[in-house]
Structure 1
């Protein structure tokens, strides 16, 4: 999935985020529905730009959710 399309997971009404265990930098995992597709996005948390005030983050990866991730999301265990 393109990062442009993956960004819509952040506005999905039932999206869920949690910290990612990656040790090198603070990362987050967000899972949610875009249409009928369950998407798993690894990203940095948006921070406010000191000049523009715009909040920006960085998407690191955005694959389709695996069957295990999708099931955990659907069962509320994500």
Structure 2
């Protein structure tokens, strides 16, 4: 198999399914991010409705929705 064929197959496999499954059984709508520390916390792992503070720096994290229609976070 050629290198181009291998790359094509890998890219095709990585975009075939928008539903990647959910290990915890809870549907996530996104995650909280700390841009300074690059920390990420899934929304289903946060108690309450308010944004959590970053565990590394203590600043409030921002919420970013996940793209569920295509599976792409572009």
Q: Which has the higher strand share?
A: 1
Q: When the two structures are superposed, what TM-score results if normalisation uses the length of structure 1?
A: 0.28
| TM-score normalised by structure 2 residue count | 0.29
Q: Larger radius of gyration, structure 1 or 2?
A: 2
